[in-house]
Structure 1
């Protein structure tokens, strides 16, 4: 991502855009990934984050990015469950400090993870533009559309308008959930129950005629739900794009998602092993969605998730109108590869669990001892892109290399070097 004016990188993982705020356990897990936003920064930028990057990780990332030590500012925001990031800033008395940092950086823009209403309001109070919006600012319709398309029901409705194929399903309230499940199981052998506002596989429940019991879900009256036919999925895929009012949407990357029980666990790009016509259809759907967003004033990143069934059919499952789990790693890969003079890099992001806890310095030392760490001169290697995990064991990593075969070889060597435990499920 190129930018000339300073950025205030706003890691607002605590947002009501992707999931409802009461799901604070999910938000806390997502917020642990906030330090990775360092990969978007250049000298003079500010990172506002609920989780501070560790000193060793920050130094290492800045070294790979060729950013001088101390050239970026980090502001850590303590968070109270049930609040958005903007509300947490105000509760912590940090609004004035952010205003001062912005004033020291003429032309600075706020770069959020999610375009939620509280962020737009805070930016207005601080007199900050939100990237990539122009002087006219963010239209209310853009925010409303982002909220709508981060729901399953909203996406299904828009997909119908745009001719995007989705799995057979029904939208219902919590009070009607049990009846809807019974009706759907009367038609299909298996169904999946999805909270209307959820992401990353959060809250999915799989049911079948042999095991139709909703359990605790039967008591969850509030909110809306989607009950869909459970398809015979062969591949989970996605395309990530940029919406640009006044211009055609741009495809940034596509790839295959690694999943376990419907939950996202990793990503490999570019997409391969899928029929060319299927890839074109996926990108055509993503572009149609981008035009819909741009017409309503939305600008910036968004993604379209889909599945390829065993018979080769493509079905879209959800849209994510925000920065997704692959937006920042993809930008990091592009930036590192460009600096190394590499083109057409293959990359993946995933996670592995070590048998014992390690600090960031120790984990990096192990990679270097095996010659696996990213080195520009080689144009391949592993990047521990998300800092040391809170438990010291659940490591997120990226692998960059000159093709899928080489990337797979490096990932296997990484698993041996850090003694990753076998995965607990298929994916």
Structure 2
């Protein structure tokens, strides 16, 4: 018998009302992430999933036409607090420096006592911001920081009998000959090697090598702080990239949000997600639930995601993201759409825009016949990350009766951009 709620809601699991401050700036190794995704500071994904009574902190005002459309289709919140600051200052820092406490009092009124603080990553800076606001933060900082470590994650998986790819560890303190010996051993297994940093997101510390590139190694290790560790793993060809996202409530209840397949650019960088899946979803969910129970016993609360790879050799766990993940946002919208009707297939994807279409009011006309109107749950698209639109990027959720239909829908909307 299942001991968890299946296909639940991230937002509703938090309680109500919610104060969102979703900012990726405070993630470990963020400097590497922003090099991979230069416009990531402008992401405003949480705006589309917030409910009417919630408060959303943002670094810059949302696109007016986009926010108006969200209100028309009864998505998102009108309670937006824009906190100005230097480009490299995080939302938690701005919260503590910009007098946002007073704005929160006026927006929440009597509901303030029950409000919860939802960050993207529940680190120490976020905890200080929540204490500054006098709000309960839905995260456990100590466990979050521990689980963000890819090496520790694999050690725990082995203890829980969750399959992981074999690996060796190299450090910046090893000699060049020691590093070469370890890496060459892995090369002999599959002919290609994947080097993964102990910390990092959005493929910011991942390197795939087809030969012993000494120049590359000098650059990677030489630019890393002393004591930095890397996982060295054989590179297996992927059949799929399972992703499973979950939530643990304060009372220990485990909520399964959704399992999907990751869409990866160059086989590494996250581009989106889709379901239904072809891999053994039940197997992935059982492994994930096993890890979720471990986290719950450790006192972890809040959202988290587990990533896997499916190869000819089997399905292996690769990392835990003890925080919000890119997949949680579109699947929360799917949860809302399912109140209108079934959603049998869905896909989220980052889309590049030409210069002449980098305003939502223009895009709305281009996609008018398939843009969500608040009625149909399938055969529609919902843009949910419009913050970086001026930089030529937007993230879109599309739905349909089958994955074939959804992919055709994406092909259709992309064809209108040229």
TM-score, length basis structure 1: 0.84
Q: 1:8 to 1:177 in 2, by over 3 A?
A: farther
User: Which 5+ residue runs of structure 2 have no aligned equivalent?
Assistant: 1-10
Q: Offset of 1:255 from its aligned partner?
A: 1.0
Aligned to 1:295: 297
SS of the equivalent of 1:228 reads strand
Q: Which has the higher contact order (CA 8 A, sep 6+)?
A: 2
How many residue pairs match? The answer is 396
> Does 1:19 pair with 2:18?
no
Deviates more, 1:288-297 or 1:182-191: 182-191
> Does 1:122 pair with 2:144?
no
Preserved CA contact (<8 Å) 1:399 1:411: yes
Aligned to 2:366: 366
Instruction: State the distance in 2 between where 1:321 and 1:14 align.
Output: 15
> Does 1:241 pair with 2:246?
yes
2:257 to 231, 252, 260: 252
Q: 1:49 to 1:174 in 2, by over 3 A?
A: farther
SS of the equivalent of 2:270 reads strand
Preserved CA contact (<8 Å) 1:192 1:228: yes
Aligned to 2:63: 54
Q: 1:99 to 1:66 in 2, by over 3 A?
A: closer
> Does 1:109 pair with 2:121?
no
Q: CA RMSD in A?
A: 2.6
Instruction: State the distance in 2 between where 1:177 and 1:347 align.
Output: 48
Aligned to 1:333: 334
Q: Offset of 1:238 from its aligned partner?
A: 1.0
TM-score, length basis structure 2: 0.86
Aligned to 2:211: 209
Aligned to 2:5: none
Aligned to 1:166: 164
User: Which 5+ residue runs of structure 1 have no aligned equivalent?
Assistant: 132-137, 420-427
SS of the equivalent of 1:226 reads strand
SS of the equivalent of 1:147 reads helix
SS of the equivalent of 2:24 reads coil
Q: Offset of 1:61 from its aligned partner?
A: 1.2
Q: 1:211 to 1:171 in 2, by over 3 A?
A: closer
Preserved CA contact (<8 Å) 2:56 2:79: yes
> 1:114-139 deviations in whole A, cap 9, x for unaligned?
111121222123221224xxxxxx6x
SS of the equivalent of 1:14 reads helix
Aligned to 2:221: 218
